[in-house]
Amino acid sequence: MLLSLKEKKLLLKLIAKEQRKVFGKEANKEELKSLEEKIRQSMRNEKMNETKPEKL
């Protein structure tokens, strides 16, 4: 499933909100942290892989 940058940012906001909840399972928080890191890594990879047309 491919997500747009806008969708990824929305997911990151929702993950952050969920992580701030006081009453939550510790395992769930670890899964959220892992998911957040995967999304951020994906965003960094896309940024690095952007290619600009070369001037000839």
pLDDT band at 37 (very low <50, low <70, confident <90, very high): very high
Q: Higher confidence at residue 28 or residue 13?
A: 13
H-run or E-run covering 1 = none
Mean pLDDT across 24-52: 88
Greater confidence, 31 or 24? 31
Q: How far apart are CA 10 and CA 15, in angstroms?
A: 9
Measure the CA–CA gap between 9 and 40, rounded to whole angstroms. 9
Residue type, 1: M
So what's the pLDDT on residue 51?
A: 73
Short-list 51, 35, 34, 45, CA closest to 5:
45
Give me the residue label for tokens 């928080």. 29
Residue 1: pLDDT band (50, 70, 90) is: low
